[in-house]
Amino acid sequence: MNYLVLSDHYPFLSLKLKMTITTRFAPSPTGLLHIGGIRTALFSWLFARHHNGKFILRIEDTDRARSTDAAVQVILDGMAWLGLEYDAGPFYQTERAERYNEVIAQLLEAGHVYRCNCAKERVEQIRNAALSRGDKPRYDGHCRSLKVTDTNAVIRFKTPVHGQTIIDDQVQGKVIFENSELDDLIIARADGSPTYNLTVVVDDMDMAITDVIRGDDHLNNTPRQIHIFNALGANPPNYAHIPMILNPEGKKLSKRDGASGVLAYRDQGYLPAAVLNYLVRLGWSYGDQEIFSIADMIAAFDTKGINKSAASINPEKLLWLNRHYLKNAENKTLAKPLADLLQNLGINLNNGPDLIDLIDVQKHRTETLRDMAEQSVFFYNDFETYDEHAAKKHLRPVILTALQALQGALQQLQDWNNNNIKRAIEETAAQLEIKTGRLAQPLRVAVTGTSVSPSIDDTLRLLGQEKTLRRLHKGIALIELRCSS
């Protein structure tokens, strides 16, 4: 629980006010938001929701050269797709330049920062000398006491020279930094633009962020940010630095491992619930529970359960979860995403079965919505060619009479439903004294072009009588041709 201790600011008050837990997700739109970024967003979102707090989206786009509109759009669309709704924002750092300038002026005025016009070559020389001694490269504070007034100079922060900065990290535990190891970082470039460590502190302060959950690549920035908070007379937030996500071989994620944009998961037919469940368990555990609904996650999430060591992706587990959520999804929630995927395949939805009927059958036998779409194309579009192996094996002269008899029986049906279809197949098979299975498979190949489809009665029902008869007719014609040649 986070408290603002008013007595720090007003000694006559010893009252503790409970603060609203507020977290933020602060991506830089310099690359497409990927699975690692989304997991950070999810943890921050869950922490806020668990504490009935607030979750803010902040786009850190001050690196104008590398930020792109497309990357911003992926952040917005990705969060919307996954249902990670924010209570405030999106805030764009590029729109807050005035505020950063105000804070820089305040820091200059109070003497916490100074202008530095050391030549690039000098800074470079110090750096190289330190590196050749095997030391960390640090600026030597040359301009600290020089009272440089040149407004084209960079502005550096006066980092405390002595003492330690101790971070009580919610994941990493106590992390101690010697202040003497940190140099006077640049908070504003020569053109006046603020740097990351300044903007992040100003924003976290102004947005009253109580808990920062972010990647552990930012751990080294944290003592610097705490110094800036102190200089501004503000309380730093709590920090939780989460380890990165690795590939199954324990190496850094690359595009090959699916570190592509988060929307690729949508296009591959994964469900938001499956992706969130997968991500929450990637580096966080709660006993040995694997399946978490959104409500379960919110109820159980705590930074204490975040693992200290890096987690590896596990594509099979994501598929397993997706199958689980697909099977248990309400049909109507799948209609829109399936329609989108079918349309991506060039399907005209008016040419086939009702989507809800289709989903009801297919969701039990496919792993992703994309599989479902691909395995449903034949319901809409006539196929050009038969699967060669299936046609050779099943569309043979021996079955011709049976298929012709079946065609007649199916034609007679007044009511095109599973029971009637099934009965027609069974009765035809019985009359000809063959097993139902021996008739069903040639029928399947004739109407779908392949030997794999839902149960034969579901397949025919979803195809509809007209399409079934038309395709059966074509299959029979093919066998007749074989007989005559």
CB nearer to ligand GLU: pick between 27 and 236: 27
Contacting range for ligand GLU; rule: CB under 6 A; set: 26-34, 231-239, 380-388, 414-422:
26-34
Using CB under 6 A, pick the residue from 28, 172, 260, 459 that binds ligand GLU. 28
State in angstroms the smallest separation of the CB of 218 from ligand GLU: 5
CB nearer to ligand GLU: pick between 218 and 438: 218
Contacting range for ligand GLU; rule: CB under 6 A; set: 22-30, 78-86, 126-134, 267-275:
22-30
Residues 176-205 that bind ligand GLU (CB under 6 A): 200
Residue 60 makes contact with ligand GLU by CB under 6 A? yes
Question: 306: buried, middle or exposed (CB in 10 Å: 19+, 13-18, 0-12)?
Answer: buried
Contacting range for ligand GLU; rule: CB under 6 A; set: 21-29, 226-234, 280-288, 299-307:
21-29
Residue 61 makes contact with ligand GLU by CB under 6 A? no
Using CB under 6 A, pick the residue from 21, 22, 23, 26 that binds ligand GLU. 26
x/- letters, 281..320, toward ligand GLU (CB under 6 A) = ----------------------------------------
Residue 48 makes contact with ligand GLU by CB under 6 A? no
State in angstroms the smallest separation of the CB of 339 from ligand GLU: 34
Contacting range for ligand GLU; rule: CB under 6 A; set: 25-33, 152-160, 247-255, 311-319:
25-33
> From CA 397, how far away is CA 442, in angstroms rounded?
11
CB nearer to ligand GLU: pick between 189 and 389: 189
Question: What is the β-pairing status of strands 238-242 and 211-215?
Answer: parallel
- 447 within 8 A of 406, measured Cβ to Cβ: no
Please report where in the chains the tokens 């619930």 appear, as a residue.
273
Contacting range for ligand GLU; rule: CB under 6 A; set: 23-31, 64-72, 108-116, 135-143:
23-31
Q: What single-letter DSSP state applies at residue 310?
A: P
Question: Which one, of 47, 75, 44, lies nearest residue 59 by Cα?
Answer: 75
Residue 245 token pair: 């996500």
Q: What single-letter DSSP state applies at residue 303?
A: G
Other residues' Cβ atoms within 10 Å of the Cβ of residue 248: 11
State in angstroms the smallest separation of the CB of 13 from ligand GLU: 31
x/- letters, 233..262, toward ligand GLU (CB under 6 A) = ------------------------------
Helix axis angle for 331-344 and 355-362, nearest 10°, is 100
Question: Which residues face 164 on adjacent strands?
Answer: 178
CB nearer to ligand GLU: pick between 61 and 257: 61
- # residues contacting ligand GLU (CB under 6 A): 7
Contacting range for ligand GLU; rule: CB under 6 A; set: 24-32, 70-78, 323-331, 434-442:
24-32
Question: Which one, of 118, 141, 123, 122, lies nearest residue 190 by Cα?
Answer: 118
Other residues' Cβ atoms within 10 Å of the Cβ of residue 376: 26
Residues 205-234 that bind ligand GLU (CB under 6 A): 214, 218
Contacting range for ligand GLU; rule: CB under 6 A; set: 20-28, 321-329, 382-390, 457-465:
20-28
Other residues' Cβ atoms within 10 Å of the Cβ of residue 48: 26
- 341 within 8 A of 376, measured Cβ to Cβ: no
CB nearer to ligand GLU: pick between 195 and 468: 195
> From CA 453, how far away is CA 373, in angstroms rounded?
13
Question: What is the β-pairing status of strands 113-116 and 154-157?
Answer: antiparallel
Other residues' Cβ atoms within 10 Å of the Cβ of residue 378: 20
Residues 322-351 that bind ligand GLU (CB under 6 A): none
Residue 27 makes contact with ligand GLU by CB under 6 A? yes
CB nearer to ligand GLU: pick between 238 and 322: 238
State in angstroms the smallest separation of the CB of 113 from ligand GLU: 20
- 39 within 8 A of 56, measured Cβ to Cβ: no
> From CA 314, how far away is CA 274, in angstroms rounded?
13
CB nearer to ligand GLU: pick between 197 and 420: 197
- H-run or E-run covering 164: strand 164-169
50-86 in b/e form (b: 16+ CB < 10 A) is: bbebbbbbbbbbbeeeebeeebbebbeebbebbebeb
Interacting residues with ligand GLU (CB under 6 A): 26-28, 60, 200, 214, 218
